[in-house]
Structure 1
Amino acid sequence: MEDDAEIKFLRRPVDTLRLGLGAAREVGSSTTKHPVEVMQEEHQSGREYRRKLEAMAFTHGAAIPAKLDIERQILSNVERLPGLVPSKRLGLSIVTGEIDRFGYEDYLGHESMREEAPRLDTHTLMEAKLKLGANVGRF
């Protein structure tokens, strides 16, 4: 591996009582990605999904992969109103096979559990999304 492709470890003690938990994250942060994380991103990019569609086209004809691709495009455009609960896009994860993957984010470090996440109501977020009111540019 290259010299910069190493996982950093804690080089100095961190006073979490004074600096908070974020300070420990900054001291021990890694600059490169773990090989497993790279493999997961490649899977998410769609290579495996495209191979699956090609195999279906070879076995069952071109209609089934075309139908699945259209369903994927439709389901990728469906979103929930902005608010406290992010859109899970369950239908899209079922069509692409993402639902079978179980990663660390499923049980650790979920975004809704973070303390530093802003807690805003739906009306404020919709005003910011549609660029209405006094909250324009804040988010």
Structure 2
Amino acid sequence: MDSAKTIQIEGRVDDPLRFGIHGVKSDIIESHPLESAYLSAKVRQEDIKKKILANTYGGAFPMKMELDRQILSKFQRPPGVIPSSFLGLESFTGTLDGIGFEDYLNDPRDSESYRPIDMHHGMEVRLGLSKGPPCPSFM
């Protein structure tokens, strides 16, 4: 969630048969102003929380919390039918208690053009044995 693994693709990136048709609109238009304001407020709030914890418990406590957050954000299920829920990370950050719009709106698995993930290819990409995205999830 917080740190997504990026996949370096060698060769042609604009292969429409493998990666889908590339839209130029997403490269030109920035995100919605409210989305950028929401993300910057979230970052500011986390920084303030880290400063309060450092002043209260010492400088090592926020570093330990960040290390725990990094460990919990990397724990995932193998690619397949059941997606990773990041339950440990959600309970650690406190987002488990709240229900946001991302919990019930625009779930890609509810789309009619969704294709199931090929678990074997997804694991090959995760382990670095194959190139490309784990799966073209939309037709």
Bigger radius of gyration, 1 or 2? 1
Unaligned 5+ segments in structure 1 are: 1-30
TM-score, normalization by structure 1: 0.58
> Per-residue CA shift, 1:13-63, capped at 9, x if unaligned?
xxxxxxxxxxxxxxxxxx56444433332355x332221011011122223
1:49 to 19, 38, 46: 46
**Distance in 2 (alpha carbons) for counterparts of 1:137 and 1:33:** 25
**Distance in 2 (alpha carbons) for counterparts of 1:35 and 1:116:** 29
The change in CA–CA distance for 1:48 and 1:37 in structure 2 (over 3 A counts) is same
Unaligned 5+ segments in structure 2 are: 1-28
The structural deviation recorded for 1:82 is: 1.0
Q: Work out whether residues 79 and 87 of structure 1, in 8 Å CA contact, stay in contact via their aligned partners in 2.
A: yes
| Larger deviation, residues 64-73 vs 35-44 | 35-44
2:109 to 100, 109, 112: 112
Q: Work out whether residues 53 and 65 of structure 1, in 8 Å CA contact, stay in contact via their aligned partners in 2.
A: yes
Q: Work out whether residues 79 and 117 of structure 2, in 8 Å CA contact, stay in contact via their aligned partners in 1.
A: no
User: What root-mean-square deviation, in Å, do the aligned CA atoms of Structure 1 and Structure 2 show?
Assistant: 2.8
Q: Work out whether residues 80 and 119 of structure 2, in 8 Å CA contact, stay in contact via their aligned partners in 1.
A: yes
Residue aligning to 1:40 = 38
1:71 to 58, 68, 73: 68
Q: Work out whether residues 81 and 117 of structure 2, in 8 Å CA contact, stay in contact via their aligned partners in 1.
A: yes
Q: Percent identity, aligned pairs only?
A: 38
The change in CA–CA distance for 1:71 and 1:136 in structure 2 (over 3 A counts) is closer
Q: What amino acid maps onto 2:82 in structure 1?
A: V
Larger RCO (CA within 8 A; separation ≥ 6): 2
**Distance in 2 (alpha carbons) for counterparts of 1:49 and 1:79:** 24
Q: What amino acid maps onto 2:74 in structure 1?
A: N
